Chain A
Amino acid sequence: MRVPPALLAGAAGLALVLSACTTDAPDDEAAEGAGLSPDEEWFDQEEFDTQLAQRDITPEGDPEQPWLQAIEPEWTDTGEFASDDPGEATVCFSNASVSNPWRVTGFITMEQQVEALQDEGRIGEFRVSDAADDDNQQISDIQAFVDAGDCEAIIISPSTTATLTPAVETACESGVPVIVFDRGVNTDCMVTFIHPIGGYAYGADAAEFLVDELEPGSTVLALRILPGVDVLEHRWAAAQTIFDDSELEVLGFEFTGGDGAQIKDLVSQHLQRGSVDGIWMDAGDGAVAGLEAFEDAGQPYPVIAGEDELSFMRKWDEEDITAIAPVYSNFQWRTPVLAASMILAGEEVPSEWVLPQEPIREEELQDYLERNADMPSLHYAKFGGEDLPGFPEAWTDR
């Protein structure tokens, strides 16, 4: 059969035009707000209410050391795990990955905290395995710690929730204290689960700021990294709930992969079609690229919710933008090793250790910029390592 190229190209084009027409109608609806009721899979009203309330609770502990503060802790006894010689006790850490600047910053802080504790003789050897975002790798990493038999405490930062649950249970069954932080697992066998308030609070901080700062009827564009990651989905679900109750018009959301070029291109295209007054982001990666799209289009800066990443905060300061930096407390990386040292000393720890999670607002901007003046641009302002040995070189020379 011989088909002229023109015919095929024409057919392809026709299909394109037709698909454009057929997909047009429902998408317009979606863009007009039908997409503002959160996906049930990712929205838990009770948890949402809890997290929003936790933002207003004063945490227990010294405000100068937020990494040791806890919101409404239920203290649990750890006497059974007390070590005769904590200075010789091996602490093992199974890390999901160091694949983004947030995790890199946190891991440096953790290593410095370990050094401090080792100098004080509160923990011994610190053994780390990095699973590079691979669930299977992390499961075998944890198994290896259990099999080695000489870990006296196991710290786990799970790569995903459901898949890692059995591995965490295995670690618990081996009889050593297990500490889980950052993302959660579906079990409560660990001694303590350490995390900041959570994704709903993060998304709500950002969305509420836009609702407060923008006139009713203003347009908001949401930039999301990826679908299907619980911490990110919760942020978006919270934002949807809040935008739904507001007078703001949400233009839609875009998945960017956190890639600056993609963000800049997508924002530029939205600007071609009409004004964008506000930007909501589920994480601050590439926020500066988004702002540059406004510069290059010759349009005024939007009201924006970024993150406490320094490149964004510096841009915020330089250009005097109306902005907020929601925070997913990076200092939480200190807490697990501190918790390990407390457990090895037989001290009580909270069974669920909820760390404070305060966004950085305009009035605190200068303070945080000065404190992080020497830090690289992909560093997180609330890293909380200023009092650790190796500050600032450990973070500046990464």
Chain B
Amino acid sequence: MTAPASPTPSAPPPAPGADGRRRPPLGALSSMPRGGTATVALILLLIFVVIATQNPSFFEGPPLMGFAKKAAPLVILAVGQYLVIVSGEFDLSVGSLVGAQVVIAARLIDGDEAMTWPVLALMVAFGLVVGLVNGLVTTLLRVPSIITTLGTMLVLFGAVRFWTGGAPTGALSEAFRVPGRDGIENVPFLHQIPWALLIAAAVVVGGVLVMRSPYGRTLMATGDNDTAAAFSGVRVWSVRTLAFMASSLLATLAAVLIGGYAGVTAQVGQGLEFTAITAVVLGGVVLGGGRGTVLAAALGALTVEALFTLFNQLYLPSTIQPAAQGLIIIAAVAYASRRGELRLPGRPRRRPDHPTEHTLGSSRR
């Protein structure tokens, strides 16, 4: 993540199902990829510049790799959140899920190396089940996802506390902690390339590829206008459910990295869902779905982490972070929606309720 400064002109895919209109020329930057990638890359660059003025040694390799290690879980969560948001939904359950997974891992592994792989498999299964429930409740029971996942968040939070009697017990094994804590050692200049960085990079690349695949295009189309998508033969419920499952799976991966990074504490995962959403909207991914790129979401995650790092460098108390996050969410969404209005005059807003999904070929309208 050393060169986020150069926004890739090899743009992420244009949104299918969205408009095919060309943007009016606004200057050099307007030819940048849509979805706010350029804007967020620029903000990230600026934050890095300010960090560099405060702490020139930040770019000396090891500190930068330390930053990457810390930021990797959020990047992964942001990619998961992106998949859900771009499909027109929310996933508020990821923070609780990360917390639950770390606590489950610590309790079941309890320091026993042999348990590492079985427990990892169990965590993946658990993550998929949570995503499946989120997806099916949202799509088939027609519960708005903000309520579904708020419910899941509380259920997981409460269930884990009930199960552990209030606070986590047990310990993670050394093997479990390798991905989040270790890396390729003895690399010149960088000293260590964290596994977390490689994993996050792989997730971002995977996300980009998914969004270019037919599934990704369908997902984007669903988020843009699910009625139209349904009429063109998309099984909206399965497309969205898969997105929820991907989000929960990536939250599980993030849990492995976060647990690995710092071990188990009672507070792990708290508030991560909001940090992930902040990252995604900062990347210009439009709430309500249909627009934005994976790369921008990942850059948004880096920007949020960089901003928190900067706060720390300026000796601002970390208690200010939630307030800053709130302001970022509002500002980013306001900016994106205004831009959306300007660019797409007269574009019909997506209906806020869940449109009925008709079977193809139905004569009903």
Contacts and interface: CB of A to CB of B under 8 A. Distances in A.
Contacts of A272: 55, 57-58, 62-63, 66
Interface string B127-143: 00000000000000000
Interface string A368-398: 0000000011100000000000000000001
B43 A12 contact: yes
A259 B267 contact: yes
Contact of A4 (B30, B110, B166): B30
B183 to A, nearest CB: 10
Contact of A27 (B57, B181, B314, B319): B314
B167 interface: yes
By CB atoms of chain B within 10 A, which of A24, A27, A262, A297 has the most?
A262
B265 A289 contact: yes
A53 interface: no
Nearest to A26: B315
A300 interface: no
Interface string A93-131: 000011111011001100000000000000000000000
B238 interface: no
A173 B160 CA distance: 38
Interface stretch (B45-53, B202-210, B239-247): B45-53
Contacts of A24: 54, 314
A30 B258 CA distance: 32
Given A5-B29, A288-B263, A103 B46 contact: no
Given A12-B46, A17-B46, A269-B309, A260 B29 contact: no
A57 interface: no
A377 B171 contact: yes
A255 B39 contact: no
Given A27-B314, A261-B258, A6 B27 contact: yes
Interface in A4-58: 4-6, 8-10, 12-13, 16-17, 20, 23-24, 27-28, 30-31
Given A9-B39, A9-B43, A263-B262, A258 B267 contact: yes
A286 B318 contact: no
Contacts of A227: 317, 319
Contact of B316 (A17, A23, A226, A263): A23
Task: Indicate the size class of the contact surface on chain B.
Answer: 35 or more
Contact of A292 (B27, B263, B266, B310): B263
Interface string B112-128: 00000000000000000
Contacts of B166: 97-100, 103-104, 107
B318 A398 contact: no
Interface in B301-342: 309-310, 312-319, 335, 339, 342
Contacts of B270: 257, 259
B3 interface: no
B268 interface: yes
A104 B169 CA distance: 10
A208 interface: no
Q: What is the predominant secondary structure among interface residues of chain A facing chain B?
A: helix
B8 interface: no
A266 interface: yes
A266 B318 contact: yes
Contacts of A226: 319
A196 interface: no
B318 A376 contact: no
Contact of A289 (B54, B263, B266, B339): B263
Contacts of A273: 55, 57, 313
Contacts, number: 175
Contact of A101 (B53, B266, B316, B339): B266
B312 A266 contact: yes
Nearest to B27: A4
Contacts of B170: 376-377
A262 B318 contact: yes
Contacts of B317: 227, 254-255
By CB atoms of chain A within 10 A, which of B66, B258, B262 has the most?
B262
A8 B335 contact: yes
B39 A5 contact: yes
Nearest to A259: B267
Given A31-B315, A98-B166, 14 more contacts: A4-B26, A98-B167, A103-B167, A107-B166, A227-B317, A258-B265, A260-B265, A261-B265, A261-B268, A264-B70, A285-B266, A296-B181, A311-B171, A377-B111
30 contacts: A2-B26, A4-B27, A4-B30, A6-B38, A13-B42, A16-B46, A16-B50, A17-B46, A17-B53, A28-B315, A98-B167, A99-B167, A101-B167, A103-B166, A227-B317, A257-B267, A258-B265, A261-B70, A262-B318, A263-B262, A268-B66, A268-B70, A269-B66, A285-B266, A286-B262, A288-B263, A311-B171, A376-B170, A376-B171, A377-B111
Interface of B: 26-30, 36, 38-39, 42-43, 46-47, 49-50, 53-55, 57-58, 62-63, 66, 70, 110-111, 161, 164-171, 181, 258, 261-268, 270, 309-310, 312-319, 335, 339, 342
